[in-house]
Amino acid sequence: MVSRMMKVRTAIHAAIWSTDPKPEVLGRTLRGAASAGFDCVALPLRDPARIIPSQVAAAFQAAGLGAIGTAGVPPHSDPGSPDADARARGRDHLELAVALARDCGMTQINGILYGPLGRAAGPVSDDTIQRSADTLHHVAEIAETSGIRLCIELVNRYETALLNTVESGLTYLADAGHANLHLHLDTFHMSIEEADVPSAVLRALPRLGYFELDQSHRGRLDQGSLDLAAMSAPLVAAGYDGLVGVEAFARSRLADDHANALAIWRNHFDDADGFACNAMDMIRNIFGRRPVA
């Protein structure tokens, strides 16, 4: 029996069901998340032309769930590029994501906001990182006026050469110099890059905006090589009351280009509703959250 309760809020990635923003599909996704007991759903903003903000906002309101966005930057739109045009395209894309999130009723955007996703040809320069940080300072200022928090996700070396560890993320936040920028930690990526995950989690805590549970194979949370309870232990001990998210992927539930970018070559789970319920059970076991009567 759980002996303590915590005030964490929970979120689940829409990809567990579908990232399609059409009302009939999104409605099914939100019903599944609500039925499992989640507070929020993270919906990708990667295809702005397909998103009708009023419909998305109405769907979330009808489901009684909080809305979170996820975003990145498309190819040739690098916030840290030495090319002014590419840098402007990156800034403009992020500003569009903020506007979409605002109009969809979202309060937060997570993701690799600081540079393009994909294996880099080599290390990036300090100048590149500083240009990216300067761009994100500008975008964070705009987001703040819209009531939207930005959380930069730290991912593994095969997906970016910019920010892989908590140490690099905290340095980046200091370079950007804006209080509306926070860290998004994902246990899958941390297991690759951090020498001591619990210590890194504790170090990130003052700037932590999103903690995401994600298994080694990107499937069910109770199957895989990662000890998610041990990785979460510093947050439990500190009385963390922020957002705890869940992520997993099945290729059949993603657009091909999205799956290819994330190297999702197979279905890591079959039953979306079952996955969500199992994930909520794990969150309750780790963070001491009892079901609401």
Q: Is the pLDDT of residue 293 over 70?
A: no
Query: Annotated catalytic residue: which of 153, 193, 194, 212?
Result: 153
| Rounded distance between C-alpha atoms, residue 263 and residue 155, angstroms | 13
What would the DSSP string read from start to end of 62-121?
A: HHT-EEEEE----TT--TT-SSHHHHHHHHHHHHHHHHHHHHTT--EEEE--SS--S--S
pLDDT at 290: 45
Query: Is residue 247 flagged as an active site residue?
Result: yes
pTM of this prediction? 0.94
**Strands 66-70 vs 9-13: parallel, antiparallel or unpaired:** unpaired
Model confidence over 208-246: pLDDT tens digits?
999 999 999 999 999 999 999 999 999 999 999 999 999
Query: Annotated catalytic residue: which of 159, 193, 212, 247?
Result: 247
Query: Is residue 144 flagged as an active site residue?
Result: no
Q: Is the pLDDT of residue 289 over 60?
A: no
Handedness of CA 167, 171, 174, 178 (dihedral sign): negative
Mean pLDDT of 269-288: 94
